[in-house]
Amino acid sequence: MQPSDEGESAYVDAADAFSVLGNETRMAVLGALWEADEPMTYAELRREVAPDDRGNFHYHLGKLADHFVRKVDGAYELRFAGVQVVRTVVTGTLTSDPSIPPVEVDTECGYCGRPMELCYEDERITLRCTDCAELVGGEMPPGAFIHCGFPPAGLDGRSPDELVEAAETFIETNAAPMLNGVCPECAGRTATTISVCDDHAVDESGLCSACETRYESWAVLRCRQCQYERKASIWYATLHHPAVVSFLYDHGHEAMSPFRSFTSDLARIKRDIGVEVVETDPYLFRVMLPIDGERLSVTVTEELAVEAIERHTAETCDD
């Protein structure tokens, strides 16, 4: 896929691209270039990959050169697509299927304080509260804080408690670029859609029966190119603003990026965060963050841009 003069993308046919990879010699070439410290000449590649080749190696290398390999100054190196293919293999996404049965971890639910458990199955990592409904229901496992794709390589050498931190860092790191309009998967442009429940009413489970979530308002961030999607509460978009970081720091919370909003101090703070719909056309929200008697009021647009900040001291909070 190459950018055209108009800034759009010219696609290589997907079927053609995938068919190129269905050959042992071609995959071996990609692996050899991945392992090499510098570009390899034709002779070096042939000697490494197919020393007994009887004439087919040139054909296979030529197939890769269209999209996965490039020739620079007489030697071959991986193009970005080739690097991505090898990384997919190395991370185990295509070659392994590990699992971890549910195990209790040293992390408490930010809403109810009950123990949480972690499991891994079908390349998805799940961290869930064992007692309350947490953030969302529907297709999510009951009480799930985290339920998303996680590369098998991320399991290597980590205890369940270490996996909690790794998974959250992995998720939060992917969320940050989407808030700035960049897809973490393909670097394509993202679009933001606002979803507001018109009949929002939280029941004893902590969720609304109409929208099956804890919060009335959500932002859906979706890549226009690869359709990668993330769903975020409106207040989450404010966490990266300097005034919010400063407010948290003033109250003893070192909110470093990527934010650990599920399992750190922020997990206990977020249960008190309020979001109010101020206007509907276009949407305008007011996020209220109370800590230790003070309150930070943040006005957010439907593009998730912070429009205004107002800090209320303990003396003015009741005004």
pLDDT in tens, 137-186: 667 888 888 888 898 889 989 999 999 989 988 888 888 899 889 999 88
The whole-angstrom distance between residue 243's C-alpha and the CA centroid of its chain comes to: 24
Task: State percent of the chain over pLDDT 70.
Answer: 87
Mean pLDDT computed over 241-255: 84
Whether residue 44 is predicted with pLDDT greater than 60 in this model: the reply is yes
DSSP 9: E
Gap between the Cα atoms of 113 and 167, Å rounded? 20
pLDDT mean over 284-289: 95
Mean of pLDDT values over 231-242: 87
Q: What is the mean pLDDT of residues 293-297?
A: 93
pLDDT of residue 46: 92
**Average of per-residue pLDDT across 92-96:** 62
Average pLDDT over residues 77-82: 91
pLDDT in tens, 107-120: 888 788 888 899 99
**In 180-270, which ranges are continuous DSSP H helix?**
242-250, 265-269
pLDDT confidence of 9, banded at 50, 70, 90? very low
Lowest-confidence segment of 5-9, 31-35, 145-149, 227-231 by average pLDDT:
5-9
Give the largest Cα separation in the chain, rounded: 85
Instruction: State the amino acid at position 7 in one-letter form.
Output: G
Tokens representing 58? 């040139």
pLDDT for position 137: 67
Task: For residue 68, give the amino acid letter.
Answer: F
User: Is CATH 3.40.640.10 the right assignment for the domain spanning 2-90?
Assistant: no
Mention every residue, 6+ apart, whose C-beta is less than 8 A from residue 141.
126, 128, 147
If pLDDT is split at 50, 70 and 90, which confidence band does 11 have? low
Work out the average pLDDT over 268-285.
Answer: 89
Q: pTM higher than 0.75, yes or no?
A: no
Q: Tell me what the pLDDT averaged over the chain comes to.
A: 84
Distance between CA atoms of 278 and 194, rounded to whole angstroms?
14
Q: Provide the CA 192 distance to its chain's centre, in angstroms.
A: 15
Structure token pair of residue 237: 């978009």
Residue 222 has pLDDT above 90, yes or no: yes
Point out the least confidently predicted range of 107-116, 221-230, 278-287, 294-303. 107-116
The string of DSSP letters for 137-189 reads -TTSPTTEEEEEE--GGGGTT--HHHHHHHHHHHHHHHHHHHHTTB-TTT--B
**CA gap 240, 259 in Å, rounded:** 9
CB 115 within 8 A of CB 130: yes
Structure tokens at 163: 């996996």
* pLDDT, mean of residues 227-236: 89
The pLDDT > 90 percentage for the chain reads 40
Give the residue range(s) of CATH 1.10.10.10 domains in the chain.
Answer: 2-90
pLDDT at 5: 42
